[in-house]
Structure 1
Amino acid sequence: MSSSHPAVVLDLSANGVGIIHALSRKGIDVYAFDTEGPYSKGKSRLALCGICPSPLNQEAELLSFLKGIAMDLDKKPVLYAGADDYVVFISKYRNELSQYYLFLYPDHSLIMDLLDKKKTYELAMKYNIPTAKTFFVENEEQLDEAITQLEFPCILKPVFGHEFRKHVNKKAIHIQDAIQLKKNYPIYREFGDLIIQEIIPGDNQCFYKVAAFFGEDMELLALFTLQKNHQFPSQFGTGAHIVSKRIPDLVDVGVPLLKELTLKGVGMIEYKKDPRDGQYKLIEINPRFWLSHSLTGHSGVDFAHQYYLYLTGQRPSPKLQQISGVHWIYLVRYFLTYLEKRKNGEMSLKDFFYGLKGKKVFALLAFDDPMPFIRSTMSHLRNTWKRKRRSD
């Protein structure tokens, strides 16, 4: 198989590093960029890395930057995005960028709907997809009305998560009672629109994902399902310890939805299985590579490489059968989750070490590329120490 086309990756978080590792180890030249900030140090040695303009407030500069990168290369590069901001940018300027890069996205309107929690909820209602009870509040009167119908505790979630996390690094805010809700809602509302949602019961292992890669004509080229074991923060966070697991019921639920939405390219749906009724309830849909996608390559599917082969015209055979039981571990987050759960009596040291057994892939730990792991570990530990000092 040919690897003559280079790849350009926008994102140097663990998501982007996973793409770098998947491609560079197959002999593909990779160029990776991110904005100046937490990822400007500890760059991957498996790619030519650098700083790029921001997709949020330097659109013209980023467009010019990407054109310049592509013009210096012999062949059209495959363009990857590991974060929502870059996805929106690429989609918005797809007509211009497609002259220089190879990529595949669904319609721009669908991307924007999927990044909008309110629109995603409306899609769930349209297609009769079970989801958490949700309230949209725009004023104090609506907030009071929602309180009469809510069961506490509940959660506040940003409508546009990628925008909200620029100000508040949380996926959701846990609300214990009506008093806390009335106090906290106006505080967090300053950073963007919010929804109020019931908490679906169940621990981290009730979270599942189904991911698919559809070609231009919606032919299914890759399929993968997984289950969370742990996330960080443990209550409302992102994956820390994941296991590959074929879940036929989830495939039957998720794949038709992605096809109905015409979500070409890479898409992922997260569900939480409600122990009260056994239903998979929609959490979110992402039109991009997700944090733990590097698990797919070690489970026989390899989304990043399949995407590359398709876009470079190499007609890859569909990869629809995965190896189950492979673990993906974001080591520093797994350790911090252990410390958090140990306090609550939910996890022992024995449990922690047991989770390191068996076939596994680490999110960042790699002997041929040590700096992203060192950077991430130091950053997580430093931020945890700062939070602890503020709370003391």
Structure 2
Amino acid sequence: MGRPALRPERPPAFVLNMYDTGLAIARNLGRRGIPVVGVSSRDDLPGSFSRYCRPLVGPDSREDPRGLAAHLIDQARRLPARGIIFPTRDADVLFLDAHREALEPHFAIPLPGRDALRSIMEKSRLAALSESAGIAAPRTCRVTSEADILLRRDEFVFPALVKPVLAEHWRRADVWNAVGRKKAIRVERLEDLVGAYRRSARYVAEALVQEWVPGNEDQFFIVGAYVGRDGTCRGAFTAQKLHQYPPDFGLGCLVRSRVDPVVEELGLRLLRAIGFTGIAEVEFKRDARDGAYRLIEVNPRPWDQHALGAACGVDVAYLAYRDHCEPPAPRAASDGRERYWV
């Protein structure tokens, strides 16, 4: 089957990095006749082979952000209309934030303002903001040295997780290998905490120590939403992780859509407190001790399973496209049927 007919008069959507998330964006927008350009530093990523996008090789947002900005601006100057850029990784989000002023004359960037974005990306700020909004969050401490850890030993609750302040801090190849290629390290006691901190501190001095929230891997719940430029929610859906890898704090491998008004209200309340606009995934874990939903993280961008929302009637990427490039779409709502992402 060939590529679908596109409407060249419609503004194009540029998608950074055509892994699973980028592929889903290309499919969902391309099926609606929206021109999609997939920008990756390699030509062998799965989304680059989709009939729904035109692949484009360019610099990587992590390795050469200035080069990528120049490359995108050069592409934009050839376009008949101002397009939109979708990030698919934290590195892409940080890149777009750092180069907003240069890129925004050429592209819409569906991200919140800089202060709101930092409140999300810096997990210690997010935990404090969550508590102020009346939303439970695990106890979180920011540490800067071994001496700091020992001085504050009475503040930690074990088991605990050692995490980066910014997820991107651990994504550099040398740091990623040093921490065992994990986005968090579980520790059972103070001695383990010091050892885990040493592994990352050779590269990044700051780290977070966060209370472990007990519960099985199927106790993670998600709110996916698009909040328009005017601050109103244009669509939201909820889902539950059934399996993830690694089980404690990994990537969702089997995720089920399910209507959950409680989780949705918590997620949207948090986004309002942040002053958020754009695409968001808000993740909670139900605490086995008291049944409370505790905030785990917020992603200010499309994520791997966002296509589950499109299957339920809430296509967050399309809502963002319409809000920035065409007259906004009507508010979307889940159709209530269970669907699965594998």
Amino acid at match of 2:237: F
Instruction: Assess if the C-alpha contact under 8 Å between 2:133 and 2:269 holds in 1.
Output: no
Equivalent positions of 1:260-339 (< 5 A) are: 260-329=273-342
Deviation at 1:202, TM superposition (A): 0.5
How far apart, CA to CA, are the structure 2 residues paired with 1:184 and 1:319?
44
Alignment counterpart, residue 110 of structure 1, candidates 102, 116, 119:
116
What per-residue deviation string (whole Å, max 9, x for no partner) do you get for residues 85-106 of structure 1?
A: 1122222222332211123321
Matched residue SS, 1:325:
coil
Instruction: Assess if the C-alpha contact under 8 Å between 1:243 and 1:324 holds in 2.
Output: no
- Evaluate the alpha carbon distance shift between residue 104 and residue 142 of structure 1 in structure 2; reply closer, same or farther with a 3 A threshold: same
Instruction: Assess if the C-alpha contact under 8 Å between 1:40 and 1:51 holds in 2.
Output: no
Residue number in structure 1 paired with 2:243: 230
Instruction: Tell me if 1:95 matches 2:101.
Output: yes
How many matched pairs? 327
Instruction: Tell me if 1:45 matches 2:57.
Output: no
Deviation at 1:148, TM superposition (A): 4.0
Deviation at 1:235, TM superposition (A): 2.1
Residue number in structure 2 paired with 1:242: 255
Deviation at 1:276, TM superposition (A): 1.3
Matched residue SS, 1:292:
helix
Residue number in structure 1 paired with 2:197: 185
Matched residue SS, 2:107:
coil
Amino acid at match of 1:203: N
How far apart, CA to CA, are the structure 1 residues paired with 2:115 and 2:65?
19
Deviation at 1:21, TM superposition (A): 1.3
Equivalent positions of 1:187-226 (< 5 A) are: 187-192=199-204, 193-226=206-239
Matched residue SS, 2:290:
coil
Where in structure 1 are there 5+ consecutive unaligned residues?
330-392
Instruction: Assess if the C-alpha contact under 8 Å between 2:123 and 2:166 holds in 1.
Output: yes
Residue number in structure 2 paired with 1:25: 31
What per-residue deviation string (whole Å, max 9, x for no partner) do you get for residues 299-350 of structure 1?
A: 1111122222222222210002343310000xxxxxxxxxxxxxxxxxxxxx
How far apart, CA to CA, are the structure 2 residues paired with 1:125 and 1:190?
32
Amino acid at match of 1:321: S
Alignment counterpart, residue 79 of structure 2, candidates 64, 73, 76:
73
Matched residue SS, 2:281:
strand
Instruction: Tell me if 1:165 matches 2:177.
Output: no
Where in structure 2 are there 5+ consecutive unaligned residues?
1-5
How far apart, CA to CA, are the structure 2 residues paired with 1:28 and 1:70?
16
What per-residue deviation string (whole Å, max 9, x for no partner) do you get for residues 8-49 of structure 1?
A: 10122211111111111222221111234xx74443232221
How far apart, CA to CA, are the structure 2 residues paired with 1:99 and 1:262?
23
Instruction: Assess if the C-alpha contact under 8 Å between 2:219 and 2:286 holds in 1.
Output: yes
How far apart, CA to CA, are the structure 2 residues paired with 1:112 and 1:25?
34
Amino acid at match of 1:140: E
How far apart, CA to CA, are the structure 2 residues paired with 1:174 and 1:245?
29
How far apart, CA to CA, are the structure 1 residues paired with 2:317 and 2:45?
24
RMSD of Structure 2 on Structure 1 (CA): 2.1
Alignment counterpart, residue 85 of structure 1, candidates 83, 91, 97:
91
Deviation at 1:136, TM superposition (A): 2.3
TM-score (norm 1): 0.78
Identity over the aligned pairs, expressed in percent?
27
Instruction: Assess if the C-alpha contact under 8 Å between 1:88 and 1:112 holds in 2.
Output: no
